[in-house]
């Protein structure tokens, strides 16, 4: 089956993810896939949460931190600005503290804690995860193309839904137990809503958002995850290990795309020895990929003669991505 066949047979798969090690072409293939779908008349958003994202370079537009930017008819692109998101996250936490506890201003020691916590990697990852939830639950587009960060971080993001869900379940249970006592106190104070009720409502709201995003990311009917790899020994080994880990988190792996394949016919011409050696090595590893992944390979994309930047080059890559394997 080719990538074109897969999209034709499964139009219900609206949430598309491209993953793999860094530097293999995930972002360019995400952009090419989004371009092709937009050309089919579908409304498409391609987005990235990678701080080193290159969608701006590929589309030759400054889209970083600006929300969805229209690239052409039916196609929008977005790069999440983690710093801006963290600032908004901090402001939201401060406002909730003011609302819950009736302070006129956030106490200095709490404000200092919030500011110092923003330097922690967990704050950035949490803020970015929240941004992803906002994007994918919005539902304004026919397709969402998610250009994932490199493998290790991607696994972390995908696993966060489960970790957060379990953590909030525990906190919610404790809050529910405490709430019984707090409601009695609130009644004695003649308050309609207790403090614990408001905390519980917030926890349930967060849990609801996590469950929605988690159900989308692991839904085999609506979501497709594509591994991008190149014919090199270490990449093949890492991809196999990652595929096993992703499967444990119920990520619906829909297939593999082999990128940067050197044209074998080059070997027939007069070429330098190092290039001939590269082609022979690629053929060896392509054979290994075929024998282990077989029908799960959806496309072999040839090495392009120049960097992918600008719509004409994206169009050429899209043609090769969706024509390959026909």
The b/e string for 128-162 (b: 16+ C-beta within 10 A; e otherwise) is: bbbbbbebbeeeebbbbbbbbbbbebbbebbebbe
Residue whose tokens read 């709201």: 205
Q: Taking each helix axis as running N to C, give the angle between helix 82-101 and helix 121-138, from 0 to 180 degrees, rounded to the nearest 10.
A: 90
Contact (Cβ atoms closer than 8 angstroms) between residue 56 and residue 62: yes
As a whole number, mean pLDDT of residues 146-165 equals 65
Query: Does residue 2 surpass a pLDDT of 70?
Result: yes
Residue whose tokens read 């995400």: 30
pLDDT digits (tens, 9 = 90+) for 73-118: 999 999 988 778 777 777 877 787 777 777 778 778 777 776 766 6
Q: How much of the chain, in percent, has pLDDT values that exceed 90?
A: 40
| pLDDT for position 326 | 46
Residue whose tokens read 């916590």: 117
Query: Does residue 262 surpass a pLDDT of 50?
Result: yes
Cα 8 from Cα 1, distance rounded (Å): 11
| pLDDT for position 130 | 75
Please state the three-class secondary structure of 80-97 as a single string. Answer: CCHHHHHHHHHHHHHHHH
| pLDDT for position 179 | 65
Kind and range of the H or E run holding 281: helix 273-293
Sequence length of the chain is 326
Query: Does residue 191 surpass a pLDDT of 50?
Result: yes
| pLDDT for position 160 | 62
């Amino acid at each position: 089956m080719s990538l074109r066949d897969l999209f034709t047979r499964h139009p219900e798969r609206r949430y598309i993810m491209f993953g793999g090690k860094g530097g293999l072409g995930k972002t360019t293939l995400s952009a090419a896939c989004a371009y092709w779908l937009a050309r089919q008349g579908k409304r498409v958003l391609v987005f990235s949460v990678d701080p080193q994202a290159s969608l701006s370079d590929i589309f030759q537009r400054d889209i970083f931190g600006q929300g969805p930017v229209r690239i052409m008819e039916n196609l929008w692109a977005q790069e999440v600005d983690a710093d801006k998101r963290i600032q908004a996250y901090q402001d939201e936490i401060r406002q909730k503290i003011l609302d819950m506890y009736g302070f006129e201003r956030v106490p200095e020691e709490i404000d200092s804690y919030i500011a110092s916590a923003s330097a922690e990697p967990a704050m950035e990852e949490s803020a970015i995860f929240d941004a992803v939830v906002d994007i994918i639950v919005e539902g304004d587009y026919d397709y969402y193309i998610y250009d994932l960060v490199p493998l290790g971080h991607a696994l972390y993001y995908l696993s966060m839904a489960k970790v957060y869900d379990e953590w909030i379940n525990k906190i919610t249970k404790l809050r529910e137990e405490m709430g019984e006592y707090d409601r009695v106190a609130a009644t004695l104070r003649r308050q309609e809503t207790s403090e614990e009720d408001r905390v519980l409502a917030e926890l349930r709201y967060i849990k609801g958002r996590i469950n929605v995003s988690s159900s989308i990311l692991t839904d085999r009917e609506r979501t497709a995850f594509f591994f991008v790899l190149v014919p090199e020994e270490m990449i093949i080994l890492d991809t196999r290990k990652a595929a096993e880990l992703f499967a444990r988190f119920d990520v619906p792996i829909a297939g593999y795309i082999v990128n940067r394949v050197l044209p074998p016919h080059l070997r027939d011409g007069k070429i330098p020895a190092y290039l001939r050696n590269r082609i022979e090595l690629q053929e060896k590893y392509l054979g290994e990929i075929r024998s282990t992944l077989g029908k799960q390979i959806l496309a072999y994309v040839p090495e392009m003669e120049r960097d992918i930047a600008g719509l004409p080059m994206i169009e050429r890559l899209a043609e090769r991505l969706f024509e390959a394997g026909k």
